[in-house]
Amino acid sequence: MRRLISTGSPFEANIGYSRAVVCDGWVFVAGTTGYDYATMVMPESVAEQCRNAFATIADALGEAGASLDDVVRARYILPNPEDWPECWPVTSSVFAKARPASTMLVAGLQEPEMKIEIEVTARLPDAGLAAPA
């Protein structure tokens, strides 16, 4: 069964994507930037954008029945690689337990004020995986 999750962001409707898709025990969260979607304000600080992105991701995972602790894969996309170290305290705190396989890429983002985009994949905690022997 496939279930779509939306945050109500105007980007989702205008571009034609879901914030997250739940399928076969997995949660695939789309690239998420640092907007506060309630106000559509983008903070200037890359660290604050990182925090906002994780808050949006956490909400989508929660709606799916998962949490940030269930994330197995993370991708970080930044236009400026020099901004990346400012995000480390945020990412290490958010993923202190999950410690997902992660990649940081350098690429342009959709809007010039966007300093980071984060995409994650999580496994639902009740997906029925057998524990290792």
Over residues 33-59, the mean pLDDT reads: 94
Angstrom distances, CA of residue 59 to CA of 85, 91, 108, 133: 25, 16, 26, 33
Instruction: Identify which has the larger pLDDT, 43 or 9.
Output: 43
Instruction: Write down the pLDDT at residue 129.
Output: 58
Q: Quote the DSSP letter at residue 68.
A: G
Distance CA 98, CA 117 (A): 19
Q: Quote the CA–CA distance of 30 and 11 in Å, as a whole number.
A: 11
* Residue 79: CB atoms within 10 Å: 15
For tokens 């925090």, what's the residue? 51
Residue 133 has pLDDT above 70, yes or no: no
**Cα–Cα nearest to 6, from 71, 63, 65:** 63
- pLDDT at residue 128 in the model: 63
What number is the average pLDDT over the span 83-102?
Answer: 98
pLDDT band at 37 (very low <50, low <70, confident <90, very high): confident
Please, are residues 6 and 12 in contact by the beta-carbon 8 Å criterion?
yes
pLDDT (0 to 100) of residue 118: 98
CATH topology classification for 2-122:
60s Ribosomal Protein L30; Chain: A; (3.30.1330)
Distance CA 51, CA 54 (A): 5
